[in-house]
Structure 1
Amino acid sequence: MLKGFKDFIMRGNVVELAVGVVIGAAFNGLVTQLTKSFLEPLIKLLSGGKTVSGTFKVREVIFDWGAFINAVFAFILTAAALYFLIVLPMNKIAERRARGEEPEPKAPADDVRLLQEIRDILLAQSHNPGPQDRRY
């Protein structure tokens, strides 16, 4: 049972997912600060120093539609900034690599390659136990 759990945790997908979640959380902070530092002031600048504000009440419950409109503007501006500053340049780099204009990343160093070979051998041995490892 523990071996199965260990195999599950050591799969590349689980580790990559964990790294993705951590990077996503850090990226969330970056996007939040981008919105506060640049996009919200830009919205105020474009709207004459004001943000959209407006509310209405239904049975003493306040609906703040102005905050929603501001959030929509911030989302659109953030998505546009991310697209033009990150996604588009990365796509251009990938296209250049596909055309052969930009060199592929260098092969790993000899010591890294040797460690990868050792890792592969150990993995192969753990999945195919020798006669001395078999339990009868």
Structure 2
Amino acid sequence: MLKGFKEFVMRGNVVDLAVAVVIGAAFTKIIGAVVDGLINPLIAAIFGKPDISGVWKFEINQSVFSIGLILQAALNFLFVAAAVYFFIVMPLNKLAERRARGQEPEPDPLTTDQELLTEIRDLLRTRQQ
């Protein structure tokens, strides 16, 4: 029973997932700081306050509907997605592009038929010379 559990835990995809969760938690703090320190002050400069969830409310039969809460959640999602893209994804893509510039992709290995045809071609060339 323990052997099966050990094999499950030590699979590559489980370990990769665990690493992704830990790295994601670390990036959450960075992205939160970018949103709180840079983007929310911009919202405050535009709308007068950094949180619009308290605005645009209406009430029907003592039930409160908040359009501002939905807009705030949508804006937070967009801001976090933009921060992740511009501060993490885009620089990593540029780095990968720079690394790949000097490298040519390796050609696909020849199939058995292609190897035989290449040998025949080479033998015919040597006969002609």
The TM-score with structure 1 as length reference comes to 0.63
Query: Whose relative contact order is higher, 1 or 2, with alpha carbons under 8 Å and at least 6 apart?
Result: 2
CA contact (8 A) 1:39 1:74 kept: no
Inter-CA distance 26–37: structure 2 relative to 1 (3 Å threshold)? same
* Corresponding residue for residue 40 of structure 1: 40
4+ residue runs of structure 1 moved beyond 3 angstroms?
none
Instruction: Give, in whole Å, the separation in 2 of the partners of 1:29 and 1:61.
Output: 35
Shift in Å at residue 79 of structure 1? 1.9
Instruction: Give, in whole Å, the separation in 2 of the partners of 1:61 and 1:30.
Output: 37
1:31 paired with 2:12, answer no
CA contact (8 A) 1:39 1:77 kept: yes
Instruction: Give, in whole Å, the separation in 2 of the partners of 1:84 and 1:32.
Output: 14
Q: CA RMSD in A?
A: 2.0
Instruction: Give, in whole Å, the separation in 1 of the partners of 2:77 and 2:24.
Output: 17
- The within-5 A match list for 1:1-136 is 1-47=1-47, 49-50=48-49, 51-52=51-52, 53-100=55-102
Shift in Å at residue 91 of structure 1? 0.8
| Unaligned ranges ≥5, structure 1 | 102-136
CA contact (8 A) 1:55 1:65 kept: yes
Identity %: 50
The TM-score with structure 2 as length reference comes to 0.65
Aligned length: 100
Shift in Å at residue 57 of structure 1? 1.5
Deviations 1:76-101 (A, max 9, x none): 23322321222111111111211118
| Unaligned ranges ≥5, structure 2 | 104-129
Structure with greater Cα Rg: 2
SS in 2 for 1:78: helix
- One-letter code of the match for 1:90? L
Shift in Å at residue 5 of structure 1? 1.3
